[in-house]
Amino acid sequence: MDCSHVFDFKVNRLTLVFTLFLALFFVTPLLYAQEDTSKATVTAHAEPEAEKKFNLGKFALHHIADSHSWHVIGDTFIGLPVILYTQGGLVMFNADEFHGDDEAKLVVERAGQRFVKLHEKIYYATATANAEGEYVEVDANHHAKNVRPLDFSVTKNVCTLLLSVVVMLLVFLNVANGYKKRKGKSPKGLQSWMEPLILFVRDDIARPNLGHKYERFMPYLLTVFFFIWFNNMLGLVPFLPGGANLTGNIAVTAVLSVITLIIVVTNGNKYYWKHIFTPDVPWWLYIVLVPVEIIGVFTKPIALAIRLFANITAGHILMLSLIGLIFVFNSVYVSVVSVPFALFIGAIELLVAFIQAFIFTMLSALFIGMAIEEHH
């Protein structure tokens, strides 16, 4: 049977998807910069004598940080629910009420309390404004001194987290139904896309590191692999429903690493714990090796969290920095160099999104495998 036409169709489909992503990254500079340039124009009209210098660091950090609103395009934002547990109880309102040119000058009053936002953090507002009209007291480093309520708001990262859960459920329920309806038959549709990836996790990650016990941990390994990969890809989309830097948030990667740590600790056999607390070395070496082994139990998941966080964040910052060079030099001619480089880094980020999901899953499987390995 000649399957060459089927292979050519799949190759063409992959090429089309990759081309669409490249086109997406080509318009990224305009989408990311439109908000900042519009604000700069307003400032220029308001203060023609004072030319404001473009802050590249602030520009990059602003776009990778979590926020209480979701940027659509230009000055269009979607306000997200703000949920605060305050001294007067639970308070809820929409983040649109904070939207303005200078958020530190805007006060939202609820339940007899006043709130103000600075750098995407919500504080209790001061009784009176300072000389600049702001209701926040700041130190020399521009860090707020005001007290903060407990913030349980639905931020952009939270929305992306929920969105990725919905996407994963839709994808894998569809694949599972495909296996039920087409039992014993070749995969079709979405099932044919996902099956090679599922087999990749099973044959190249789970089996080599976990041996014959791999099936017990496959649900976790598949979940963490696709969760990280899906969110890495969503983070590369520069507009709604993408744009959030979820896997570049240390809190998210730390939780994933803690889950791996819990699985390792709860499944570790007696040989694993014996190697940590009573290694086969002279007793006088225990004073060095035992503390090192105990520290190693915690440094492994810490390394998992930092590696994923740092690599994803660094990729976003690099792309934004290349785009920001246009505004640093205030010349459209710089775009001839910066935009192709940003496009190139964006294409590499597609590969990095998969590689980081693979590395996190593989190391998780390796650590679990070390804990359940039988004595030989």
Output the 3-class SS for 264-311. Answer: HHHHCCHHHHHHHHCCCCCHHHHHHHHHHHHHHHHHHHHHHHHHHHHH
Helix, strand, coil shares of the chain, percent, nearest 5, are 65, 10, 25
- Where does residue 145 rank: exposed (0-12), middle (13-18), buried (19+ CB within 10 A)? exposed
Q: How far apart are CA 277 and CA 291, in angstroms?
A: 9
**Residue 109: beta bridge partners?**
114
Write the pLDDT tens digit of every residue in 104-153.
777 888 888 888 888 888 888 888 888 778 888 888 777 788 888 998 99
Distance CA 160, CA 249 (A): 12
Give the model's pLDDT for residue 247: 92
Mean pLDDT to the nearest integer, 99-103 = 68
Q: How confident is the model at residue 319 (pLDDT cuts 50, 70, 90)?
A: confident
Q: How confident is residue 20, by pLDDT bands cut at 50, 70 and 90?
A: low
Which of 204-208, 225-229, 332-336 bottoms out in mean pLDDT, i.e. has the lowest? 332-336
Adjacent-strand bridge partners of 123: 116
Q: What percent of the chain has pLDDT over 70?
A: 84
Q: What is the DSSP letter of 53?
A: P
Distance from first CA to last CA of the chain, Å, rounded? 48
CA distance 280 to 108: 64
What gap in Å lies between CA 351 and CA 150, rounded to an integer?
Answer: 38
Q: For the residues of 213-247, what is the DSSP string, one character each? A: GHHHHHHHHHHHHHHHHHHHHHHH--STT----ST
